[in-house]
Structure 1
Amino acid sequence: MEQESRKRSVSKAVTYRIVVVIMDFSVIYLLTGKIMIAVGFMIISNIYTTIAYFIHERIWNKIQWGLQRKA
């Protein structure tokens, strides 16, 4: 069974956040036509979603369901 390296995990997390930032900005800009509103939403959204993701991961770290031991 292959295990993902920390470097790969960090790279995936960073590239995912970049994609989300671009998507957030694009959608809000298309809806409002205002760059500053899109930038503001992008910043606020990424703060609260990052915090929510951290809390979500910490909760899942305490749940044993679905874990399998490596052979």
Structure 2
Amino acid sequence: MQEKAYRSAVKTLSWRAVGTLDTMVISFLITGSLAMAASIGSIEVFTKMVLYYLHERAWTRIGIGLHRPTGDDYQI
């Protein structure tokens, strides 16, 4: 099975929403400043989206853990 690029893009967006919220909460707990937490979160949301997307696309080219069905495979 092969993943399409748009699937990686949707996964990127959903994961970044979770990750950025986490970063902002941690930043707020450390700094005590909502403005600083929002600033940190707004910067990292873009950099980590790009990195995740590139990481995800690289993994579509790696065959580790993928099973390619053959004609002898039993399917229900």
| TM-score computed with the length of structure 1 as normaliser | 0.67
- Root-mean-square deviation (CA), in Å? 2.4
Higher helix proportion (structure 1 or 2): 1
Q: Which 5+ residue runs of structure 1 have no aligned equivalent? A: 1-5
Aligned counterparts, 1:14-33, within 5 A:
14=14, 16-33=15-32
Q: Which 5+ residue runs of structure 2 have no aligned equivalent? A: 1-5
Q: Which has the larger radius of gyration?
A: 2
Query: Quick one: higher RCO (CA 8 Å, sep 6+), 1 or 2?
Result: 2
Q: How far did residue 17 of structure 1 move?
A: 3.1
Percent identical residues: 27
| TM-score computed with the length of structure 2 as normaliser | 0.64
Give the whole-Å Cα distance in 2 for the aligned partners of 1:66 and 1:21. Answer: 29
